[in-house]
Amino acid sequence: MSFGFVTKKSDGFRFATPILRLLRNTFVTGDLGTVEAALKPNSMDENSWHGLGLAVLDIIQNSKVSAEDYRNLLIKLYEEGPCSLCRTSFVEKLLALGDMPDWMAEECLFDAEPDTVALLRTGNMDAVNGSEI
């Protein structure tokens, strides 16, 4: 995969999410790791983070992506993305993996989105792995 899906702006990077969604049909192991490696905190505006989050969820849903390819990216999107609904989706995916860091589970209990809080209050704490990522 090339870095053709990332464009440099004066204030950071902007992901071309329509191009990124093409990965849904052409995904190979490591593609999402390349996306993750290009991300830096405060490197994109809110719309770019939101679009990237939706594109990644689309890729995960419609491609054969291993958990190793997207776990850390979901954590980064959770930390940086402004959309509480997307955050709920990231939490759902991590809980389904049984691989959510402790700090995130604790934070989710106080999330602004009631659905995110409910995910952790309904007995999903066994999916928390105690990692420090």
* pLDDT score, position 3: 41
Per-residue pLDDT tens for 80-120? 888 899 999 999 999 998 889 999 999 999 999 999 999 98
Q: Residue ranges per domain, the chain?
A: 1-82, 84-133
Whether 104 and 94 have beta carbons less than 8 Å apart is answered as yes
Q: Provide the whole-model pTM.
A: 0.77
C-alpha span between 74 and 90 (Å, rounded): 6
Residues 6+ apart with CB under 8 A from 15: 5, 6, 35, 44, 48, 51, 52, 55
The token duo for 108 is 């989710």
* pLDDT score, position 88: 95
